[in-house]
Amino acid sequence: MGSFAVLWALLLRHVASSWRMLAVLALGVLVASTLLASAPIYARAMADLGLKFTVRDELRGEPSIRVGIGLQQLATSDSVAVREAVEGRIDERIGWFTSERSIVLESARLTIGRTGEEPRPGSTLGVLYAIEGFEQYIVLDEGRLPAPTGPEGRLEVAMGARAAAVARLAPGDEFLLIEEIDNCDRIIPEGLQPQLPCDLKVKARYATPARLTGIISIENPDSSFWAASSDRYVMPTAPLADSGLVAPMVAHVDAVLRDLALRYPGQRLALRWNVLADIDQLDQGNFERARDDISALNKDLRVYNGYAASPLVVTLDAFGRSADFQRAPLTILLIQIAAIALFYVALISVAVVERQGEEIALLRGRGSSTAQVVALYALEGLALGLPAILVAPFIAGGVTALLGFTPVFSDISGGELLPVSFEPLAFPLAALGAALSIIALTAPAFVVARRGPQGQRRALARPAAGLIQRYYLDVVLVGFALLALWELNERESVYTPSATGGVSSDPLLLASPALIIAAAAAVLARLYPIVLRLIVQVTGRVAGVAVAMGLWQLVRRPGPYTQLALLLMMAVAVGMFAASYTSTTERSYEDRARFAAGVELRASAADVTFIPSDPTKLEAEIGAVEGVDDVAAVMRLSGAIATPNSAGPVVSVLGVSGEVEDLLWWREDFADRSLGAILDRVDSGEILRGMPITPGAVELSVWVNPQIDRSSVTLWARVRDASGRHDLFKFGKLDFRGWRELRAPIESDNFRPLEWPLSLVGLILTEPVNQFNASDDPVFIDDLSA
């Protein structure tokens, strides 16, 4: 107890005698602890900002999660139980990060008719949608919105202008939605076996009376309420085999779930839920849970023949893969800055100990041991480090939050404080900074105390060479730095593809900037005294005595001045690294954005039914828009290689014109030749010419001989007009055997008239959905004419 009191008294006297230097040292300890504590806090804040920005940027604001189940009856006890179970699973799995939910009901394709006797082939079809809360996201162009009318009233619907035109309906018109059912179960077969032929015995039709009350349009197609598919609710779709155009219509959700359910409780509709995710609930700590919960919900719903899907899963996956890459350079940069702060602490510690060298020698001369002297300075460092450990994480969090007011982050933060989450790792890192500072203080004290009084006098008379120069550690550091530079030059990146399909990184290469700075500092520490000696020899002959004595003092004791030069050099080096990292990062993000876009501005059409099929006409229409200097039409198609049951691989084809080269973004390292040379290789300049059809012809004729009855197969003629648009003309069903003449009327759609002359480019055999034919029996064709 007595020795502790003596130690405490000595500590107070030390602090009182050198409080100015200790205050500067305390500032360095606080800065070092704050910088180390800020590494996880700043990285977490940047990751949270990056996550929210990425999700909003890629998913148009608030992302949606689409949940759905197969066809369900409207109001039976089993279907109601299934619906409640699905909604319960939605709440349990993803309710913690979602903001709102709406239900969407979708019918099968229904025939639109007036009498109820209209045949399904060739008739306009309708798809009934009931969307909860759609009224807030549409514009009423004409008439009024649909409303529930009771179980005995007509079902009220609204349609888009083009859909109503296709169905030849106007507000106030009454019509029938006709459903046709039979006894055939159309099940997709497994393997290569074709579906067994259906023994059609029963076919029934029933009709739902309906009324068109208004014409609507989508207010904001990019709203997440529509789940990136707003056109499907107001725009007609292209013709299908054996059917006409399909016109969507929207009803009030209560009119279907309540009124229609009472009238037809067994009516089968597909159910979907559009669930909006609350981005503010997602952060670096829980985004993986959100991704896994969506996938788990998808697995849970398989028992109901359902699904859960969202582009949010892909976005979160991509963010998870890139988060480590984005975090590593920031962390390394902060560690380098913290290392400079620790170097500053070491400089001040050496200065404090050297000023108190005579006092340390006096303590050793009066019987104090080396351990006691070191303990004195350790207590001194602990007194400086403990407050830093407690306050450094909070200072780091506050400074990180204040970055929101800077111009760099103002666009993201809206000019407000950045949201900050305190990481548990911040306090251990702050303690590490304080511990390293204490070591930086006690190490020189240990060296001075170990010398003793005689050794201290010898050190003052002729300072010895430093440890790094004595054992040539600077040469070793230079060797490692050159090795790191060579490996970086060979790999061209610190990240390399791994065997599992991801990427891996070499920690040594990630730390190469710090290694290079350390090597340069060590070389400077060796060369600085040599350069000073040369300067003294030159200036000593021409300068006065005062200048010569000053320079000689620098040569005799270069340590403090070299250390200050090293501190300045390291700070400049880290600043240059930060500046180069910023420019490299900006270039990387710019290249990634240009690669994703391909061109300066890109527009896509979800439905090509009503746009010009001739690319030159489409380009002329878009080129007439003010501000458009150049334009090129492209087409992207997906298809599968023809195999039984369509089980082949899916391929994508992008069709572009030869003049698109100047519009596309291209980088020289993408290929070993220019983009123009690549386009020239794939441009054959040939097109399937087809068989000319006699101008003015009204029908096509062909003789067909199927070897077996193919009642589910329809024969079509594929025709191309003068504008390059293709259309199908129906010959009829192959429900016979032997030779028979089939005729296909050449009828131009009023909404998409064909332009003469016409050419026949192919004959097509089609089957209805979920029916497959793997028969090898041939179909003979002869005498094709117009």
Residue 373 tokens, joined? 């002297």
CA angle 423, 425, 431 (to 5 degrees): 125
Residue 546 CB-density burial (10 A; 0-12 exposed, 13-18 middle, 19+ buried): exposed
Q: How far is CA 101 from CA 129, 255, 273, in A?
A: 16, 19, 7
Q: Which residues fall within 8 angstroms of residue 478, CB to CB, at 6 or more apart?
A: 519, 522, 523
Lowest-pLDDT range of 388-392, 603-607, 641-645, 675-679: 641-645
Do 517 and 574 touch, CB atoms closer than 8 A? yes
Q: Which residues fall within 8 angstroms of residue 493, CB to CB, at 6 or more apart?
A: none
Lowest-pLDDT range of 157-161, 173-177, 575-579: 575-579
Tens of pLDDT along 52-81?
A: 888 877 776 567 888 988 888 888 888 888
Mean pLDDT score, 85-106: 90
- Which residue carries 């403990």 as its tokens? 386
Residue 558: alpha-carbon gap to chain centroid = 54
Do 704 and 731 touch, CB atoms closer than 8 A? yes
Distance CA 123, CA 145 (A): 26
Q: How far is CA 500 from CA 318, 496, 505, 607, in A?
A: 16, 12, 14, 39
* 645: confidence class by pLDDT, cuts 50, 70, 90: very low
Q: Which residues fall within 8 angstroms of residue 261, CB to CB, at 6 or more apart?
A: 74, 75, 267
Q: Which residues fall within 8 angstroms of residue 256, CB to CB, at 6 or more apart?
A: 74, 105, 128, 130, 155, 269
Residue 266 tokens, joined? 């067994």
- Which residue carries 């702060």 as its tokens? 341
Q: Tell me, what's the pLDDT at 173?
A: 93
Residue 55 CB-density burial (10 A; 0-12 exposed, 13-18 middle, 19+ buried): buried
Mean pLDDT score, 718-738: 84
The structural domains of the chain, with segments of one domain joined by +, span: 63-187+194-312, 615-682, 691-785
Q: Tell me, what's the pLDDT at 722?
A: 82
Beta pairing partners, 640: 650
Lowest-pLDDT range of 382-396, 450-464, 469-483, 709-723: 450-464
Judged by DSSP in three states, 275 sits in strand
Do 403 and 330 touch, CB atoms closer than 8 A? no
Helical ranges in 492-635 per DSSP H: 507-510, 512-539, 545-556, 559-597, 615-623
Q: Tell me, what's the pLDDT at 239?
A: 55
Distance CA 315, CA 291 (A): 9
Tens of pLDDT along 593-603?
A: 888 788 888 87
Q: Which residues fall within 8 angstroms of residue 455, CB to CB, at 6 or more apart?
A: none
Contacts by 354-360 with C-beta closer than 8 Å and gap 24+?
354/444, 354/448, 355/18, 355/21, 356/14, 356/17, 356/18, 357/448, 357/456, 357/460, 358/456, 360/445, 360/448, 360/449, 360/456
**66 or 563: which leads in pLDDT:** 66
Tens of pLDDT along 116-154?
A: 787 777 678 899 999 998 999 999 999 999 999 888 889
Helical ranges in 471-511 per DSSP H: 473-491, 507-510
DSSP state string for 389-436: HHHHHHHHHHHHHHGGGSHHHHHHHTTSPPP----TTHHHHHHHHHHH
Q: Tell me, what's the pLDDT at 15?
A: 62
Q: Is the peptide bond before 757 cis (omega within 30 degrees of 0)?
A: yes
- Host H or E run for residue 26: helix 19-58
Q: Which residues fall within 8 angstroms of residue 336, CB to CB, at 6 or more apart?
A: 513, 514, 517, 574, 577
Distance CA 699, CA 746 (A): 5
Do 176 and 209 touch, CB atoms closer than 8 A? yes
Residue 405 tokens, joined? 């007011």
State the chain's mean pLDDT as an integer.
78
Most confidently modeled range among 59-73, 88-102, 594-608, 631-645: 88-102
Lowest-pLDDT range of 110-114, 516-520, 657-661, 750-754: 750-754
Distance CA 88, CA 71 (A): 19
Q: Tell me, what's the pLDDT at 9?
A: 64
Which among 439, 426, 344 has a CA at the least distance from the CA of 382?
439
Q: Tell me, what's the pLDDT at 261?
A: 84
Tens of pLDDT along 217-270?
A: 998 887 878 876 788 899 888 655 555 688 999 999 999 988 888 888 888 888
* 620: confidence class by pLDDT, cuts 50, 70, 90: confident
Q: Tell me, what's the pLDDT at 554?
A: 67
Q: Which residues fall within 8 angstroms of residue 318, CB to CB, at 6 or more apart?
A: 54
Tens of pLDDT along 286-326?
A: 888 999 999 999 999 988 888 898 888 888 888 877 766 66
Q: Tell me, what's the pLDDT at 408?
A: 72
